[in-house]
Amino acid sequence: DAKTTQPNSMESNEEEPVHLPCNHSTISGTDYIHWYRQLPSQGPEYVIHGLTSNVNNRMASLAIAEDRKSSTLILHRATLRDAAVYYCILGGTSYGKLTFGQGTILTVHP
Amino acid sequence: NAGVMQNPRHLVRRRGQEARLRCSPMKGHSHVYWYRQLPEEGLKFMVYLQKENIIDESGMPKERFSAEFPKEGPSILRIQQVVRGDSAAYFCASSDSVGGNIQYFGAGTRLSVL
């Protein structure tokens, strides 16, 4: 499986934007970039995914570098509820396991 | 539309007993995945099943662990003769046949082995 690298932790203030980076220099041409998050004591939650173009949904935006070797998850206005571990995962759209790394622990300050 | 339902939420077993964890996927979903999260560790894939078939069990321990997803009823993860090292949170996820690999997770079963 292609490997992703994320910072161990990041901090933000409430109402401010948050940019969570992910490096994936060995990404293959067919790998999608998926983001999940896990709130304390809960199961992971799908956030967003994309292949080449930037993507937006109600939760977040995903900015993908032109060479696809890195991407950034953008939370436009962080809330306390966004405090979670964020995982960047590579995979295809075929079915199969998700390989979770250590993720980024996001702390949001009031 | 109910989400992925796991039960029980908490399960306590003594060493040597059996643990049965249940997972009802979202309505219409035919793909089920089980993951384990050991204390202070990341989520690790265990097994991927479609109705009545095991597709990928590469993350499943070779002994004492088994999984099934019968034609009718929930998926079951079974752990025989539990040991303290089995204490963990076990998460089930499901996906459908058209949504690609977007997996929807349950709240998990927290297994404690005394």
pLDDT at B16 over 60: yes
> What is the C-alpha separation between B105 and B57, in angstroms, rounded?
18
* Residue B97: band (very low, low, confident or very high) from pLDDT cuts 50, 70, 90: low
Q: Is residue B67 over pLDDT 70?
A: yes
A30-80: per-residue pLDDT in tens?
A: 889 999 999 998 999 999 999 999 999 998 999 999 999 999 999 999 999
pLDDT at B98: 58
Quickly state the pLDDT bin for B99 (edges 50, 70, 90): low
Label residue B25 exposed, middle or buried (CB < 10 Å: 0-12, 13-18, 19+). Answer: buried
DSSP SS3 for A91: strand
Q: Where are the extended beta strands (E) located within A1-110?
A: 9-13, 18-23, 32-38, 45-50, 55-56, 61-64, 70-75, 84-91, 104-109
Contact of B36 with chain A, judged by CB distance below 8 Å, is answered with: no
* Residues in CB range of A62: below 8 A, 6 or more apart: A33, A35, A48, A49, A50, A54, A55, A56, A71, A72, A73, A74
Higher pLDDT, residue A2 or B22 = B22
Q: Do B33 and A97 touch (CB under 8 A)?
A: yes
Q: Is A37 exposed, middle or buried (0-12, 13-18, 19+ CB in 10 A)?
A: buried
Give chain A positions within 8 Å (CB) of B101. 32, 34, 91-96, 98
Q: Do B56 and A97 touch (CB under 8 A)?
A: yes
Contact A42 B100 (CB under 8 A): no
Residue A97: per-residue pLDDT:
85
Specify the DSSP class assigned to residue B85. Answer: G
- CA torsion B79-B82-B86-B87 (nearest 10°) is 110
- Name the percent of chain B lying above pLDDT 90: 81
Interface test with B, best of A95, A98, A100, A105 (most B CBs within 10 A): A95
- Out of A16-25, A26-35, B59-68, pick the least confident: A26-35
What is the Cα–Cα distance from A62 to A75, expressed in whole angstroms? 9
